[in-house]
Structure 1
């Protein structure tokens, strides 16, 4: 094999390098425990634990039923390779921040890659939900994912989820529940997820499209519990979501 010509960075960032080493370890070994990580890096158990938890937060690692750290969805996700995704994020940024101020909850922008969504950006409101940027989540369990899936014809959805042999195939019962949700989204124009990804998180979402109708992504509002997303509060939230989407789509259609 020819030499890659790689040289160590002149100014290494120790925490970053240690985190990357842990990712490589789990990639090659399949799992790691805190005690192993501490030994591998030559650091205290508390330092190893903080690094592992940071990688879990960003979806590079997850914990299995034994509390060992294993590959997370961000480690196995392929390249999205969508040339317009940066333009979408830039077009949405200021509008998402303003929406968050109006509704008092954090907002998120996501795209769909096959069965998963990827959160491109989060606009955080203090006291609301945390930063989801970079998260890779199952589309059929998220408000943003269901908003985007609703734009697909039923035969495409069946092929996506019911094709035998696919590793991401869901059960027939779960697919039926998904289709009930899709029917709701198509009728109302917005989606909801209550505790489907995280027990305490409720989200509402709405698809974002080009002028041609082609789906680009989805915007969501997330909150702890659901008290602020019921009754008049929900009507107000959906109204602001739709107005914000219109502004984002106007910018998108003028730029990408």
Structure 2
């Protein structure tokens, strides 16, 4: 059966999808080329491209061309419990964001990356990261999740023959330092590693079986509000919210759920 155009197309959405297809098939596109292909003004094409960058479908390379981003090739996470995790965690994240005055994110692990399932933002806080795909070894959430893996598994993941993370030995050593810190303290930190202006602290969220399901992070612009005198208070609120989430997960999911 042939495809028919939608009866009520959303022009901006359709144009954005067309840009994704063009970049997927041709490897990259520039603003003027996008405007010409879509028959729209250069300013309109630029806004569409920036929206796709914001959602990780595109990134800009060193020549300022727009090329495929991490969301372009990402498949489904395939986690049967991720919807329940997001639903349970969200109200606790909202309360936590109000208490600490910073944005909160919930992420799960996918190979070398983390995927942000939910965000609770506050005025003046970091932007809504929902749907973002970020390198696990550079984020507080990623370090919190990776801390649950044994060292040999981390070495295979990042330094194995078939690894595709592109992590240098020096970066791996920094990751292991962060993982060791998280294992000893119960919380992780990232200062300008993923984005130069972002500081984050995180904690793993675990199922009663001991498996780590994801991580919750507090993010802010700059380090002051997270690594200053108020850090102990912030961490208490973070750990309390995590405990409440884990308790609610246990009540809903029980012990029979598969978290592999």
What range describes the TM-score normalised by the shorter chain of this pair?
Answer: over 0.9
In the alignment, does 2:7 pair up with 1:10? yes
CA deviation map 1:93-141 (0-9, x unaligned): 1100000000000000000001100000100101110010000000000
CA distance in 1, matches of 2:210, 2:107: 17
CA deviation map 1:156-211 (0-9, x unaligned): 11111110232214222211111111111101100000001110000000000001
Offset of residue 30 of structure 1 = 0.3
- Equivalence map 1:93-108=2 (5 Å): 93-108=90-105
Q: Identify the residue that residue 48 of structure 1 maps to in structure 2.
A: 45
TM (norm. structure 2) is 0.96
In the alignment, does 2:165 pair up with 1:168? yes
- Report if the CA contact (8 A) 1:190-1:205 is conserved: yes
TM (norm. structure 1) is 0.97
Q: Identify the residue that residue 65 of structure 2 maps to in structure 1.
A: 68
1:248 aligned residue (242, 245, 248)? 245
Q: Identify the residue that residue 154 of structure 1 maps to in structure 2.
A: 151
CA distance in 2, matches of 1:173, 1:86: 36
Q: Identify the residue that residue 128 of structure 1 maps to in structure 2.
A: 125
CA distance in 2, matches of 1:202, 1:196: 8
In the alignment, does 2:89 pair up with 1:109? no
CA distance in 1, matches of 2:42, 2:168: 40
In the alignment, does 2:200 pair up with 1:203? yes
In the alignment, does 2:176 pair up with 1:213? no
- Report if the CA contact (8 A) 2:96-2:237 is conserved: yes
Aligned to 2:229, the other structure's residue is in SS state helix
CA distance in 1, matches of 2:209, 2:162: 34
CA distance in 2, matches of 1:212, 1:231: 35
Aligned to 1:82, the other structure's residue is in SS state coil
Which range is displaced more, 225-234 or 22-31?
225-234
RMSD of Structure 2 on Structure 1 (CA): 0.9
CA distance in 2, matches of 1:52, 1:87: 32
Aligned to 1:126, the other structure's residue is in SS state coil
CA distance in 2, matches of 1:114, 1:171: 17
CA distance in 1, matches of 2:166, 2:146: 15
Q: Identify the residue that residue 258 of structure 2 maps to in structure 1.
A: none
Provide structure 2 residue ranges, at least 5 long, that are not aligned to the other structure.
254-260
- Report if the CA contact (8 A) 1:163-1:169 is conserved: no
Provide structure 1 residue ranges, at least 5 long, that are not aligned to the other structure.
none
Q: How many residues align?
A: 253
